[in-house]
Amino acid sequence: MTGSPTPRRSTLLAPVPVGILISGRGSNMEALVRAAQAPNASYKVVCVIANRADAKGLQFAAAHDIPAVVVNHKAFDSREHFEAELSQTLMAHGVRVVALAGFMRVLTAGFVRQWQGRLVNIHPSLLPKFKGLHTHERALEAGEPEHGCTVHWVSEGVDEGEIIGQARVPIKAGDTPETLAARVLAEEHTLYPACLDKICTALRSPQTQST
C-alpha cells in the first residue's frame, strides 16, 4: 500500500497546546491548569502571559513549571505592536488555542481575526446581559433574580462572540457585589475547564487532525 503512514494513536491524541492570557489574580487560570493535570487531559497549558509584571497568577504558573511571560502593554507604542508581541509569544510556545482568563485589555480586530476560532474568553455575567465591566454591581442594581458567567468565542465585538457555555447562580437577599462575585467565581472555576475540555476534545479527535 502506498501513501503516508497512519499516525500513531498516541500522536493523534496529544493534548492541545493552550496559552492563557491574564492580567491579575489568575484564579481561572489556576482552575484551567489544575484540570489539565488530569490523566489524558484534552489540553496542556504551555504558557501563561500577563500584560502586567505584578499579575499574581504568574507565580502560580512558574511554580507549576509553566512558562510565565510578561508582555507589558505599556512598553509598546500601539495596541498593534503589543498584540504582535503577544502573538509571537503564543506562536513561539506552539499555542493552538488561546484562553483569556481575566485578561483586561480589549483586543483589536486584527488580533481577533488572527486567532479566530481559537480564542475563548470567560465573562462574569449571563451574556448578552451585562457586557463590559462591573457586572455584579449592575446585576444587583437591575434587580435580577439570577446572575452567572459565560464562556464564549471571542469575536470583534466586545463580549459578543458565540456562547459556548453558561453557569447560573441565584441572587440572594442581602447580596453585595462581593458575595455575588464569589458565588459566580466558584462557578467560573468549573465552567471554564469544562468548556475548554469540550473544545480541545473536538480539536484533537482524529477527524479534526489536519495532518
Residues that bind ligand GAR (CB under 6 A): 22, 24-28, 101-102, 122-124, 149, 185, 188
The b-or-e profile of 161-180 (16+ CB within 10 A means b, else e) is beebbbbebebeeebeeeeb
CB of 70 to ligand GAR, least distance (A): 15
Catalytic residue among 64, 81, 93, 123: 123
Dihedral over alpha carbons 63, 64, 66, 67 (to 10 degrees): 10
Q: Which is nearer to ligand GAR, 141 or 209 (CB)?
A: 141
CB of 22 to ligand GAR, least distance (A): 6
Q: Which is nearer to ligand GAR, 72 or 208 (CB)?
A: 72
The Cα–Cα gap between 17 and 43 comes to: 6
CB of 131 to ligand GAR, least distance (A): 9
The Cα–Cα gap between 172 and 53 comes to: 37
Query: Where is 47: in which H helix or E strand?
Result: strand 43-50
- The closest residue (CB) to ligand GAR is 102
Q: Which is nearer to ligand GAR, 13 or 140 (CB)?
A: 140
Q: Which is nearer to ligand GAR, 114 or 125 (CB)?
A: 125
The Cα–Cα gap between 32 and 129 comes to: 25
CB of 55 to ligand GAR, least distance (A): 8
CB of 42 to ligand GAR, least distance (A): 20
Q: Which is nearer to ligand GAR, 101 or 180 (CB)?
A: 101
Give the rounded distance of the alpha carbon of 120 from its chain centre: 5
Give ∠ CA 101-102-107 in degrees, rounded to 5.
90
Q: Catalytic site residue 123?
A: yes
Helices (H), ranges, 53-118: 57-63, 79-92, 109-114
Among 84, 78, 89, CA closest to 48: 89
Residues identified as active-site: 123
